[in-house]
Structure 1
Amino acid sequence: MAVIKIAIYQKNLHKRISPEEISKIQQSKAHFLILPEGFPHFFQSESPESATKHEKEYQDHLLEISESFPGVILGGSHYRKNEQGQLVSVLPIVQSLVLVDFYEKKSPSSLNEPGVTPGKTESIFIMGGLRFGLLVGEDLENKSIWDEFKKEDIEIIFYLSSADQKRSYEEDLTFFESLAKEKSVHIIRVCGPSEGKPARSLYASPSGINWKVGKIEEDKDVLKTLSVNVMRSYLL
């Protein structure tokens, strides 16, 4: 068994991470930092297509964090044109001042992400000695990804999302508690508050809800370091 330290930052999507906040992240001594879907989103864009012009600024902000934080940074997400010239929503993976890879969202929202193409990258990665699965937003409902996780015996999943407006705070907890038990996985979910939408970051394991933001914290920035025990996924 190995204990992995994971810092999750429920962070307002439209606000930069300040030098003081970066210092707190560094002090967490976490192996991983997880940022929400849609972070950073500093520029108002009319469409995902027009948002691609801010790609470098968003990546530079993550590299700025990586100057002080030696662990693996997952997230948040932004839009870019991939090597095939397709418009995709990507989760950048950064470590040691290097943009290592991208996870491309497999199930973009046709309503909220017009013109965005379903991603083709792998959903399973190995970084920092840990083998894990990634989900962004509507990927949670993608059966083929879950089938792959089961086949590959994935134990820990990082889920970057925004809160489901259709579920209440309590219903959200019940949903993720049931999902983690059903799939026998650890789900680390991180959201970011934005324009009045609630953020409900949490950690669900097969034994239940291990940590959650409080109901009064749905609109707050919350930095939390979790210790997660993994049995099968640690490679070092």
Structure 2
Amino acid sequence: MAVIKIAIYQKNLHKRFTHEEIVKIQQSKAHFLILPEGYPHLFQSVSPKEGTKHEKEYQDHILEISEKFSGVILGGSHYRNNENGKLVAALPIVQSLVLVDFYEKKTPNKTVDIEVKEGVTESIFIMGGLRFGLLLGEDIQNKAIWDEFKKENIEIIFHLDTAKPDRNYEDDLSDYEKLAKEKNIHLIRVCGPTDGKPARSLYASPSGINWKVGKIEEDKDVFKTLSVNVMRSYLL
């Protein structure tokens, strides 16, 4: 068994990290930092296609964190044209000032991800000695990804998400608790408040909900460091 320290930052999608916030991340000495789907969204693009113009600026802001934080940074996500020229929603994976890889969203949101194509990358990665699965937004409903996780015996899954305002707080908790128990996994979700939409970051395990933001924190920035015990997915 190994204990993995995972820092999650429920961060407003439109606000840059300050120097003080980056120092707070550094002092956590976590192995991983997880950021919300859509972070950073610092420019008001009218469409995903327009959003690709800011790809480098979004990545540069994530790299700013990596200057101080030596762990693996997952997220948030931004729109880009991949190596095949397809418009995708991509989750950057960064460590030690290097943009190591991307995870591409497999299940574009039909309302928000206009003209965005289905991603083609793997859903399972190995970083920091850990094998883990990634889900971006609606990917949590993608049966093919879950089948892959089951086949590969993935124990810990990070879900970078945007909470849906038409769902209530209790239903979100119940659904994640049920899913973690059913799949026998550690499921860590991180969201970011934006435009009046709630953010409901949480950590669900086979034993239930281990941590969650409170109802009064749905519209706030929240930083939390979790200690997760893994049996199968740790390689070192």
- Tell me, yes or no, whether TM beats 0.5: yes
SS of residue in 2 equivalent to 1:6: strand
For 1:177, the aligned partner's letter is E
Aligned position for 1:75: 75
Deviations 1:196-233 (A, max 9, x none): 00000000000000000000000000000000000000
Contact 2:164-2:197 within 8 A present in 1 as well: no
How do residues 1-236 of structure 1 correspond to structure 2 at under 5 angstroms? 1-236=1-236
- Percent identity over the alignment is 78
Q: Which runs of 4+ in 1 moved over 4 A?
A: none
| TM-fit CA distance, 1:110 | 1.5
State the 1:164 CA deviation: 2.2
Once residues 67 and 44 of structure 2 are traced to their aligned partners in structure 1, the CA distance between those partners, rounded to angstroms, is 27
Structure 1 residue 166: Cα displacement: 2.8
| Structure 1: gaps spanning 5 or more residues | none
Q: CA separation in 2, counterparts of 1:128 and 1:57? A: 26
Q: Indicate the SS of the match to 2:177.
A: helix
Cα distance in 2 for partners of 1:152, 1:35 equals 25
AA paired with 1:109?
A: N
Q: How many residues align?
A: 236
> Separation in 1 of the partners of 2:28 and 2:12?
20
Q: Give deviations 1:153-211, integer Å, cap 9, x for gaps.
A: 00000000011223210111001000000111100000000010000000000000000
Distance 1:107 1:233 in 2: 25
Given that residues 48 and 114 in structure 2 are in contact (C-alpha distance below 8 angstroms), is that contact kept between their aligned partners in structure 1? yes
- What TM-score does the superposition give when structure 1 sets the normalisation length? 0.99
Give the Cα–Cα distance (whole angstroms) in 1 for the partners of residues 114 and 35 of structure 2: 23
Contact kept in structure 1, 2:16 and 2:40, CA below 8 Å? yes
